[in-house]
Amino acid sequence: MHLRCVDCGERHPPALLYACARCGGVLEVAGESGLAAPADPSLRDSMWRDAARLGVLEARHIVSMGEGQTPMRRAPRLEAALPGFRGEIWLKDETRNPSGSFKDRLVSAGLSKALELGARGVVCASSGNAGASTAAYAARAGVPAVIVVPAHTPAGKVTQIAAHGAVLLLVEGHYSRSYDLARGLAERHGFANLTTTFLNPWAVDALKLAGLEIMERLGGVAPDAVLVPTGSGPLVKGVAQGLGLAGAAARLVAVQAAGCAPIVRAFEAGEAAVTAWDMPRTIASGISDPLIGYERDGTYTLRLVRNSGGLAVAVEDDALRRAMRDLARLEGVYAEPTGASPVAALRQMLAAGQLAPEARVVCMITGHGFKDGAAFAEMPARTHRVADPEDLAAVARLCDHALAEKD
């Protein structure tokens, strides 16, 4: 087992390395640990049941809270709401991870390997979800954590990070400024960097299990497309890698917010390399990553998308709001704007003829609605004050009128 550059192929020893020493490219884990499935029942119910496929060599270093093995459910009411659609929509519900997002997969694997390699603390730059996950898992492991987030990060995410006792740094400006500060702090303190771009290969490696879970839930039959909320894109790689391990492939759709879409811009222009975005402007905080200073991450994701025959799609904030409502009211799934972005893209792709009406589609729902409750609070709701609860007839009339209204 070693680290390998995805650009030049250079091999590196299994260490806390964050870029290729030869060309500065993205590193990935090559090989697997072969670690036996842990005896702990709680680990057998998590992604660590597949410990042999991950990079940790000794089970005693594993830090887990039951991440992975998330449910995947068909969405029949959402299917019926899409005009002309005759296929299948499956929701991979990553909101069920311990801290409420798919980031728990990366952080569990990255922190476990960091401890095995002797790290004494962790640093993480985040738009919110990775920071909350890192703070929680660091608390579980009993190690110090420094979390760096943009000052405009939604309050729900900031509160969650602070609750776990991490040192929380709020940085003015876009996410890339937090990314740069976290890199400097990690080097200065000798802490492991758990920033969940492509920076930490041990963390990213865990995402291949999400692709394997998709194949398992679908009985070994690959979907036609997988729609993935995308900042820098490690989940795109994880899904592709996991499908490949199962001998399958699907079109990968990288979904970005129109207010921060560097990968989509390059895709639509037919360019081979991604250039950084300026200032993000979107309610989807989880994918508002301009990639300033690490554009190679976006370029790698762009390559993965094209190699799959897929595409990159940008969705407007109004479409995100509609997708959030659809998920919540049609399927009972409470997702933040980023988590709902695949559903917004699905509607858009069908209207544009970019997806066959009979397609089988998996939407990665990556983050829970509690992460950004303000986005839901701004939407119309069937909420009414009751002045006299003893006047049952009046309250019943109010309910009848409300129930008759269309969303």
Is residue 363 included in any domain, yes or no?
yes
Q: Token pair 């979800």 is at which residue?
A: 129
Is residue 164 included in any domain, yes or no?
no
CA distances from 22 to 5, 7, 264, 339 (A): 9, 10, 29, 36
Q: What CA–CA distance (Å, rounded) separates 284 from 337?
A: 5
Q: Token pair 């559903």 is at which residue?
A: 343
Is residue 140 included in any domain, yes or no?
no
Could you tell me the residue range of the domain that residue 366 belongs to?
72-98+204-377
Q: What is the pLDDT of residue 374?
A: 82
Is residue 25 included in any domain, yes or no?
no
Order the strands of the 251-257 sheet from edge to edge.
72-74, 88-93, 360-365, 225-229, 251-257, 311-315
Q: What CA–CA distance (Å, rounded) separates 248 from 244?
A: 5
How many CB atoms are closer than 10 A to CB 172? 9
Query: What is the CATH number for 304?
Result: 3.40.50.1100
Q: Which residues pair with 150 in a beta bridge?
A: 171
Is residue 240 included in any domain, yes or no?
yes
CB 201 within 8 A of CB 28: yes
Is residue 235 included in any domain, yes or no?
yes
Q: Token pair 């509690």 is at which residue?
A: 370
CA distances from 239 to 54, 107, 253 (A): 15, 17, 11
How many CB atoms are closer than 10 A to CB 163? 12
Total domain count for the chain? Answer: 1
Q: What is the pLDDT of residue 146?
A: 95
Q: Residue 380 corresponds to which amino acid?
A: P
Q: What is the pLDDT of residue 407?
A: 62
| Per-residue pLDDT of the chain in tens (407 residues, 90 and over written 9) | 999 999 999 999 999 999 999 999 999 999 999 999 888 888 989 999 999 999 999 999 999 999 999 999 999 999 999 999 999 999 999 999 999 999 999 999 999 999 999 999 999 998 889 999 999 999 999 999 999 999 999 888 999 999 999 999 999 988 889 999 999 999 898 899 999 999 999 999 999 999 999 999 999 999 999 999 999 999 999 999 999 999 999 999 999 999 999 999 999 999 999 999 999 999 999 999 999 999 999 999 999 999 999 999 999 999 999 999 999 999 999 999 999 999 999 999 999 999 999 999 999 999 999 988 888 778 777 788 898 989 999 999 988 988 887 66
Is residue 147 included in any domain, yes or no?
no
Q: Which residues pair with 315 in a beta bridge?
A: 257
Is residue 312 included in any domain, yes or no?
yes
3-class SS letters over the chain: CEEEECCCCCEECCCCCCCCCCCCCCEEEECCCCCCCCCCHHHHCCHHHHHHHCCCCCHHHCCCCCCCCCCEEECHHHHHHCCCCCCEEEEEEHHHCCCCECHHHHHHHHHHHHHHCCCCCEEEECCCHHHHHHHHHHHHHCCCEEEEEECCCCHHHHHHHHHCCCEEEEECCCHHHHHHHHHHHHHHHCCEECCCCCCCHHHHHHHHHHHHHHHHHCCCCCCCEEEEECCCCHHHHHHHHHHHHCCCCCEEEEEEECCECHHHHHHHHCCCCCCCCCCCCCCCHHHCCCCCCCHHHHHHHHHHHHHCCCEEEEECHHHHHHHHHHHHHHHCCCECHHHHHHHHHHHHHHHCCCCCCCCEEEEEECEEHHHHHHHHHCCCCCCCCCCCCCCHHHHHHHHHHHHHCCC
Q: What CA–CA distance (Å, rounded) separates 208 from 47?
A: 10
Q: What CA–CA distance (Å, rounded) separates 276 from 298?
A: 9
Q: What CA–CA distance (Å, rounded) separates 201 from 215?
A: 23
Q: For 297, phi and psi rounded to 5 degrees?
A: -60, -50
